[in-house]
A and B are shown apart, each in its own frame.
Chain A
Amino acid sequence: MAAETVDLSHAMVTAPVPAGDWLVIAPVAIPIVVGAILLMVRHETRLHASLAIGGLLVTLATNVGLLSRVLADGPQVMTMGRWLPPFGITFAADALGASLALVATLVATVCAIYAQKDIEATGRRYGFYPFMFLMMAGVGGSFLTGDIFNLYVWFEVFVISSFGLLILGSTHRQLDGATKYAILNLVGTTLFLIATAYLYGIFGTLNMADIARKADAMRDTGPMMTLAVLYLLAFGMKAAAFPVNFWLPASYHTPRIVTAALFGGILTKVGVYSLLRVLVMLFPVERAELSGVIAWVAAATMVLGIVGALAQSDLRRVLGFVVISGVGVMLAGLALGTQEGLTGTILYAFHSVLAMTALYLLAGVMNELGGTYSLHDLSGLYRKSPLIAALALLIVLAVAGLPPASGLWPKVLLVRASIDAGLPWLSFAILLTGLLTTIALGKVYILTIWRQKEPAEEGAAAASVPMPGVGYASLIMLAVPVLLLGLYPEPFIRIAETAADGLINSSAYIGAVFPAGGQP
């Protein structure tokens, strides 16, 4: 072969890559392998749950390894196929991506455990677990990739897998919800694609580190504001920010509860992550210009979201609106753009992934105990199970942002940051949202747990109550980190601070991707 006479070091990575660097790609590559195996043994439904839980535990271990490496040595990078960046597709894990990937995998593991009970043999044959793994590959890829077109590809991977999860069961309502979800999400990803094509036309590169270091030189000539607004709209749609959030309440109450838990916990956070990555790291000047708009969007999303939750009588619909409201709180930190605001947003993202998943799984356990999701009929759960009352109290406090649970500290940070930034009305909106969340979920708690129905009605429902041991186990597995985040937040705040710092001062990220550090 003639290639042997060419000096490859100008185009390719020639230094040997130690196996430890594979931690960057493992959280994506392992779910793909396990998902493929699950697809091959689709009809052996007995194997699915153990394979899935095992696969997710391995992925979780690699995530832990990756995060500890990132915290110790800074961003970790691997460029696919030995090509040098920006020509090869780079995976770059910084504290933000690695920690979110870890939290997402953690809740996915809990969901896989819960799904043993929630998804019966038919659902497994129709591919619940393979879809879940491909979705997790997409989510992990989104968090860890360092290439903006690759980010688009991973968005497509998890969006398309989520279609499959959403229609599992093929009831009329599910197809209706899935159609709205599919069309509005495809509009969002198409906008993302258009913005990315435009960006490539301007910059001639798709590598995010490369874009970040070229952005300053482009600012005089390039249509940077247009790009930033396009990305804000596209990712805002995916994150369910206010004027473009209608797909979420239209679809999240239709699938199996464990699917809804996965979606509510993880998917909107991918949108928030992309907003942080693109607007703070790539377009910081434009983000500052847009901060007024983002602040209004954030306030509208959080307040209107929770007002929507107050009006609902179906438990799952309530939760859909609570998810939206949480997105608004996270956008507040994006609007501020300060170190403290972003720390609050990132910490809120950790909390939100855990607490929203826990809230949906709680609804699933309540449904098992009470046989319905309707707040008109669901009642008297304290008598059936005091344990569920205790777990529900903790989770409700977490979501409402009250001590001793996880929601408190991110809100404290965000409120303080918005006062420091001279936006007292934004901190008022955050506090008002907290109050309304307490009312909305307090209402749910009182109705479902404390209220007693007539004894005659009660007897009929109580006869057929199974002991949802798997449900309790999953809830406790999520309640422990939720409580930990509330009682001992320092290490988590430190991780969030590192992540926020990595976004604002992207030189470490750029330096990791381009070790020579030279200008293009």
Chain B
Amino acid sequence: MRTLIFRTIAPYLTSLMVLFSIFVLLRGHNDPGGGFIGGLIAASAFAIYGIACGVSPVRRALYFHPMAISGFGLLLAALAGWLSIFFQVPFMTGLWTKISVLGLPVDISTVMFFDIGVYLVVVGSITSIALALEEREHG
């Protein structure tokens, strides 16, 4: 699969897909989308990059080991649930607040952090599987 066309286009395709996956993740609260599907899109982006340019550039680009990303995602999701303990509400209750970014009001919530956690778990675990399979194929 290491054709010139594919290798040239893969970095752009990957960055577009990662960008799109974040868009899908963030719109997921009220519209179709969310952490799981966003994570799958990002994981396929890394898989494409791996097919085109080899596995080690992907690992270098990710910097963290995919399983560590997965673990961080799980931690983030769990802590988003634990935050409720300070507000005297049950585990996993959605807590909302507004912050102002560049003069625009933005709603942020524990639900969003939970979703980001799911995104990272999916990215980490699926990328880890995909890279391991690609490594096996080339090595």
Q: Using a CB–CB distance below 8 Å, which chain A residues touch chain B?
A: 13, 16-19, 21-22, 25, 29, 32-33, 35-43, 78-82, 88, 127, 130
Contact = CB atoms under 8 A, between A and B. Distances in A.
Given A36-B75, A38-B71, A43-B65, A82 B82 contact: no
Interface stretch (B12-20, B42-50, B88-96, B130-138): B88-96
Given A19-B85, A29-B82, A33-B78, A40 B71 contact: yes
Nearest to A42: B67
A37 B82 CA distance: 15
B71 A18 contact: no
B6 interface: no
Contacts of A19: 85, 88
Contacts of B75: 33, 36-37, 40
B89 to A, nearest CB: 5
B48 to A, nearest CB: 25
Nearest to B74: A36
B90 A79 contact: yes
Given A29-B81, A42-B65, A43-B65, A17 B89 contact: yes
Contacts of B92: 80-81
Contacts of A33: 75, 78-79, 82
Contacts of A38: 71
Contacts of B73: 36
B68 interface: yes
A413 B50 CA distance: 63
> By DSSP majority rule, is chain A's interface helix, strand, loop, or mixed?
helix
A301 B33 CA distance: 49
Contacts of A39: 67-68, 70-71, 74
A13 B61 CA distance: 46
Given A29-B82, A33-B78, A40 B72 contact: yes
B10 to A, nearest CB: 29
Nearest to A18: B88
Nearest to B73: A36
Contacts of B89: 13, 16-17, 82
B74 A32 contact: yes
A43 to B, nearest CB: 7
Contacts of B72: 36, 40
23 contacts: A13-B90, A17-B89, A19-B85, A22-B85, A25-B91, A32-B78, A35-B71, A35-B74, A36-B71, A36-B72, A36-B75, A36-B78, A37-B71, A37-B75, A39-B71, A40-B72, A79-B90, A80-B90, A80-B91, A81-B91, A82-B89, A82-B90, A127-B67
Interface of B: 65, 67-68, 70-75, 78-79, 81-82, 85, 88-94
A81 B93 contact: yes
A39 B69 CA distance: 9
Given A13-B89, A22-B85, A38-B71, 16 more contacts: A19-B88, A36-B71, A36-B72, A36-B73, A36-B74, A37-B71, A40-B68, A40-B72, A42-B68, A79-B90, A80-B91, A80-B92, A81-B90, A81-B91, A81-B92, A82-B89
Q: Report which residue of A16, A33, A40, A130 has the largest number of chain B beta carbons within 10 angstroms of its beta carbon.
A: A40
Contacts of A127: 67
Nearest to B107: A1
A173 to B, nearest CB: 22
Interface centre among B72, B81, B91, by most A CB within 10 Å? B91
A19 B90 CA distance: 9
A78 B93 CA distance: 11
Contacts of A81: 90-94
Contacts of A13: 89-90
Nearest to B75: A36
A13 B93 CA distance: 10
Nearest to B96: A1
B67 A78 contact: no
Which 9 pairs show the lowest CB-CB distances between chains A and B?
A39-B71, A36-B75, A16-B88, A36-B74, A40-B71, A25-B91, A82-B93, A80-B92, A81-B92
A19 B86 CA distance: 8
Nearest to A130: B71
A29 B70 CA distance: 17
Contacts of A130: 71
A127 B124 CA distance: 15
A300 to B, nearest CB: 41
Contacts of B79: 33
B88 A42 contact: no
Contact of A17 (B67, B74, B88): B88
A40 B72 CA distance: 6
A81 B75 CA distance: 18
Given A16-B88, A17-B90, A22-B85, A42 B78 contact: no
Nearest to A28: B91
A35 B94 CA distance: 23
Contacts of A32: 74, 78
Contacts of A18: 88
A322 to B, nearest CB: 36
Contacts of B65: 42-43
